[in-house]
Chains A and B, each alone.
Chain A
Amino acid sequence: MSSAPISNAAHQPGWFATERKDPWYVSPLAIGALLLAFVVYSTAVGLIGGYHWLNGTGYLSPFYSPEIYGWGPHAIWQGAPGFWPEWLAKVLPFSSAFLILAVPAGFRLTCYYYRKAYYRSIWLDPVGCAVGEGRKTYWGENQLPLILWNAHRYFLYLAIIVGFILLYDGIKAFWFPVDAAGKQFLWTVGGKAVEGAAYVRTTLDPTHEAGWKFGIGLGSIILIINPLLIMGYTFGCHSLRHLVGGRKDRFGPTPCGQYKAWRFVTWLNEHHDKWAMGSLVWVGFTDLYVRLCAAGVWHDVMIYSPFAK
């Protein structure tokens, strides 16, 4: 075996050298643009620190769920956490999204499908099949930092938990807060219903809803589709496929439960790319919907109202 490069005069070296005649560049360009747009959008949304819930509903943006520390009615603990130092708060005000975005971001960053997507579209290694590369060195996933991607299964464990939390949010979006008279309950700040800038890092008045009633808004449907897509993506994970049964060579004389679980994950895994991109677009759209409603740009459409007239 020779370590010398294969000298094949039939092919041109260098970036993008190819004899391909099909528009091979369309897919990496489109996927790269979508990924970059999502990264920019989610970063901006995370930094805003508000407009992530809608007053008078149970809607909560998936980018801020679970809201461990925050200022809205969905927050487990109100306000910024004590571990967020003041000096940091001056340059980077706390946002409840900071504590949760790392989980889906880490899960998708280390995902086998997304690795393909960004190695092709962003890192250009390779940009397309049988398309030339100009880079001289290549480490693959053998060395830091990419060797860390082997931790994908640990992000999976966290992503499964987040998936169920988002399912809870999706179900909760079908329940609307009401006051003692059965009318829509609105959270207030200084006696005024929360709207506009009051959605951002503002402590709510200590008033509480009298109860919750079942209703259907357009946002309810958007918020319930979100966890279904995310779970379709999460439960089709290659690592999960390995863990539930792929690691075994024998399943016994009759297909056992473990084999059936492996088949189910395999069934989802066959379209992992579509689940991945579909859930990515929808989670962004879900956040945008809640955000536009909270900002007053768009008004949620009630399909079945639970409120007394």
Chain B
Amino acid sequence: MSDHSPSTATSAPAKRTFRIWRGDKNGGGFKSYQAEITTGMVVLDAVHQIQAADANDLSVRWNCKAGKCGSCSAEINGKPRLMCMTRMETLPPEGDVTIQPLKAFPNIRDLVTDVSWNFEQNKRITPLTAPPKGDPDLFADGTFRMYQHEVDRSQEFRKCIECFLCQDVCHVLREHDLHTEFIGPRFLVRAASLEMHPLDRADRTSFLKYQANIGYCNITKCCTEVCPEHIHITDNAIIPLKERVVDAYYDPVAKVIRWIFGAKKS
């Protein structure tokens, strides 16, 4: 394989300069470090190399190195990305590589931010609410059947690794600091995974409108662009939820239909 060819192994490894933000909530600045680049290397490898050789006190959060734990989120050349999934050859071949911590959350130190606000938002969402006894969808033995084509939608949302890149890039949080009012795309995805679940019986439309403030989302799709799991956050989660809010609050015809036939969760 060309990746391990003798010529690659014997040639001098290329060096790249990394501008890494060093500091904490009180301030800081970019510092430049050199790292040797080898084939197949990811940005997190370079950060570890720098940490081992030149900056033992560099703070960086990481865990699985496989794009599944969502720990190593940062901004690489200005884009929110996972460091462990950003291969060096996908970056421009020339110039420095800039690494910053996430912008939407308070900085603790260097590349580590305090993302605990997200876990507080998660608690605000009504969890999956199973059908009560006597629900017509329940079998006599109290079990419930759901089918693959019914759960496909929710399963897409279950791919989320909670890296919070979508929260970081969302301009409502990132630029307008509306953390007290807007729940963010990650938790609209979670709400969608529950709302669309065939077993669920809770109604979260009031929460979505008045507390999650889904109206703040102006669907500019940056969350979808940065999602490392390629979840169609805007098209499959947020817009369908917005449409459910329209059904409940903005569509007079839907209101009349509900008035005549009664409201039911279908």
Contacts and interface: CB of A to CB of B under 8 A. Distances in A.
Contact of B106 (A3, A6, A150, A152): A6
Interface in A239-279: 239, 241-243, 246-255, 259, 269-270, 272
Contact of B177 (A5, A21, A251): A5
B117 A1 contact: yes
Q: Contact residue range for chain B?
A: 35 or more
B198 A250 contact: yes
Nearest to A253: B147
B67 interface: no
Contact of B246 (A6, A8, A150): A150
Given A9-B25, A119-B220, A141 B150 contact: no
B12 to A, nearest CB: 25
B54 interface: no
Interface stretch (B32-40, B42-50, B57-65, B74-82): B74-82
Nearest to B174: A130
Given A141-B215, A238-B243, A250-B198, A11 B100 contact: yes
B13 interface: no
Interface string A115-138: 110011000011001111100001
A255 B147 CA distance: 9
A21 B78 contact: yes
B213 A142 contact: yes
A8 B107 contact: yes
Contacts of A142: 213, 215-216
B195 A138 contact: no
A20 B243 CA distance: 34
B139 to A, nearest CB: 13
Interface string B236-266: 0001101111110011000000000000011
A266 to B, nearest CB: 9
Interface string A143-160: 000110011110000000
A115 B221 CA distance: 10
Interface string B64-105: 000000000001011110000000000010010010111111
Interface string A173-195: 00000000000000000000000
Interface string A220-249: 000000000000000000110111001111
B188 to A, nearest CB: 13
Given A6-B103, A6-B105, A249-B266, A126 B177 contact: no
Contact of A133 (B171, B226, B235): B171
A143 B54 CA distance: 52
Nearest to A120: B220
Contact of A125 (B27, B197, B218): B218
Given A21-B95, A126-B171, A153 B177 contact: no
B178 interface: yes
Contact of B147 (A112, A115, A251, A272): A251
B216 A6 contact: no
A9 B27 contact: yes
B131 to A, nearest CB: 11
Among A119, A126, A252, the one with the most B-chain Cβ atoms within 10 Å of its Cβ is: A126
Among A119, A132, A138, the one with the most B-chain Cβ atoms within 10 Å of its Cβ is: A138
A141 B182 CA distance: 12
A254 B137 CA distance: 15
Shortest 4 CB-CB contacts between residues of A and residues of B: A20-B78, A19-B78, A140-B216, A129-B222
Interface of B: 21, 23, 25-28, 75, 77-80, 92, 95, 98, 100-107, 113, 117, 120, 137, 145-147, 149-150, 168-169, 171-172, 174-180, 182, 195-198, 200, 213, 215-222, 225-226, 234-235, 239-240, 242-247, 250-251, 265-266
